[in-house]
Amino acid sequence: MSDFLEVLSNYDIVGAYWMNLRLAFFSAIFSLVLGTILAFMRISPIPSLRWAGATYVNLVRNIPLTVVMMFAAFVLWPQLGVQFAERFDANFFWLAVWALSVYTASFVCESIRSGVNTVPLGQAEAARAVGLSFMPAARLVIMPQAFRGAIAPLGNTLIALIKNTTVAAAISVNEISLLMAGMLDRDANYVIPIFLTVAAGFVVIVIPVGLAVTHLSRRLAVSR
């Protein structure tokens, strides 16, 4: 055991997990914004907006995340000239955030839309009765209740996002799965302990998120 702990001390495991958390944090913010916009589009009374939102969701969520990540690294940057930072490592970090955000937004949209389905139809009818058009009614009446109803599915999407950050290893972002690959290459005698250590790290991160989401969903549940 002491030998394995000495092996672990040779690697920046905390720094690698911190990279995963940074990826998850920024991607969660951007995907929430984009997913909310898509949700507005999907419940819009304008057919073209509904079609565009549905097309995005159905297309993106059925593409493997690895493919989206590779598109960011090998098409978005070198072919289309989209660059987020001057430094190579920083640029690839933000390319990974872009890929995770674009991909996760489709699931965020559907989570919010599931929350919209929990809002009684009478709420929208009452908003229209007092003269509110679609956008004010959605912003002031429907969406606040929809977000409360969507806490649990949004929490599950966040947990999936945290675990999906390991796909950033495909474009050489220095997160935990890339570090694990290096550890397995250099210290092959400790394959099982290395796998268990990395898995335990994600358990430590994910379980508190799940508990917090469960608490919030119960606390903020809409009374019927």
The pLDDT tens digits for 169-197 are: 988 898 999 999 999 888 888 889 999 99
The span from the CA of 38 to the CA of 32, in Å, is: 10
- Give domain 2-219's CATH superfamily: MetI-like (1.10.3720.10)
Q: Where are the domains of the chain?
A: 2-219
CA distance 102 to 34: 8
Confidence at residue 221, expressed as pLDDT on a 0 to 100 scale: 65
Compute the distance between CA of residue 103 and CA of residue 27 in angstroms, rounded to an integer.
Answer: 10
What percent of the chain lies above the pLDDT cut of 90?
Answer: 54
Tell me the DSSP string of 34-54: HHHHHHHHHT-S-HHHHHHHH
Q: 126-156 in b/e burial notation, b at 16+ Cβ within 10 A?
A: ebeeeebebeebbeebbbebbbbbbbbbbbe
The whole-number pLDDT of residue 1 equals 67
Model confidence band, residue 223 (pLDDT cutoffs 50, 70, 90): low
pLDDT, one tens digit per residue, over 62-78 is: 999 999 999 999 999 88
pTM above 0.75, yes or no: yes
